[in-house]
Structure 1
Amino acid sequence: MQVLLNILQAVQILSAIGMVALILMQHGKGADAGAAFGGGGGGSASLFGASGSANFLSRSTAVLAALFLATTLGLAYFGNLRSAPSSGSVLENTSVLPAVESPAAQQIPAGSDAAVAPAADVPSSPPATGEAQIPAK
């Protein structure tokens, strides 16, 4: 099974590279207007005929595109045949890690009053005179 997947993947990569090369070799629609005024296109016309290069390149691109589609479908089909986990959830297969306490929480004893911050400079109630007092530092 793995050999078939490797062959399909190699054929898909080669067909993709071939398609890119063939698409880059083709002339765009604007190239026909330039050829009418005497510009370029003479080399390909002598090799494939007047319109032979467009037909050859476009048909070759279509064949490679069909091959690319077939290999993509084959890879998708054979890729889904692999055995999946027993359940559909990824979270069920994870392990639960124990909770880690911070070093500060480990240093303070549980029954001590050190956990409460002392409020030495802060008065517990506002002054009775109505004037605001700022504690000195």
Structure 2
Amino acid sequence: MLYQVLIIAYVLIALALIGLVLIQQGKGADMGASFGAGSSATVFGSGGSGNFLTKTTTWLAIGFFVISLVLGNLTANRTKSVDEWNDLSVPVSEQTMPTDAIPSDIESAEAIMSENSDVPTADDVATKVEDGDIPN
């Protein structure tokens, strides 16, 4: 439950950071306003938007990095489903294998393999070479 909440908060903070960075003006953007190339009137006042947006971006970035570290710590201790296949300490006899699917004699195994295999056998290749279908 905590993992899902952190992931949702992580995505929301990332989207908010992207939005805030795109809204902010660059450091040299005020130079154009002094020469009459832009409007210095903003929604937050003439100088208030920079402080508010900068502080908000800073706190969101801190939250983003803290959640990144917490999520990294949570996922480092999780076991993956692939890891159970790589466990060589358990013998094959103790693992769950369907024994009814394994044929008991060699002839029936060869019959099943020849029916279900897309790979031609050596006899098939030899007959095709003799017939001239496959060049030597």
TM-score, normalised on structure 1? 0.60
Larger helix fraction of residues: 2
Aligned partner (choices 26, 29, 34) of residue 28 of structure 1: 26
Larger radius of gyration: 1
CA contact (8 A) 2:21 2:57 kept: yes
Aligned partner (choices 40, 43, 66) of residue 41 of structure 2: 43
Unaligned 5+ segments in structure 1 are: 93-98, 118-137
1:71 pairs with 2:88: no
SS for the counterpart of 1:103 is coil
Aligned ranges 1:1-137 → 2 under 5 Å: 3-44=1-42, 47-83=43-79, 85=83, 102-103=119-120, 105-107=122-124
Unaligned 5+ segments in structure 2 are: 90-112, 131-136
Corresponding position of 1:132: none
Q: CA deviation at 1:29?
A: 1.8
TM-score, normalised on structure 2? 0.60
Return the letter of the residue paired with 2:47.
S
Q: CA deviation at 1:48?
A: 3.0
Higher relative contact order (CA 8 A, sep 6+): 1
Change (3 A) 1:38 1:104: same
CA contact (8 A) 2:40 2:46 kept: no
Number of residue pairs matched?
105
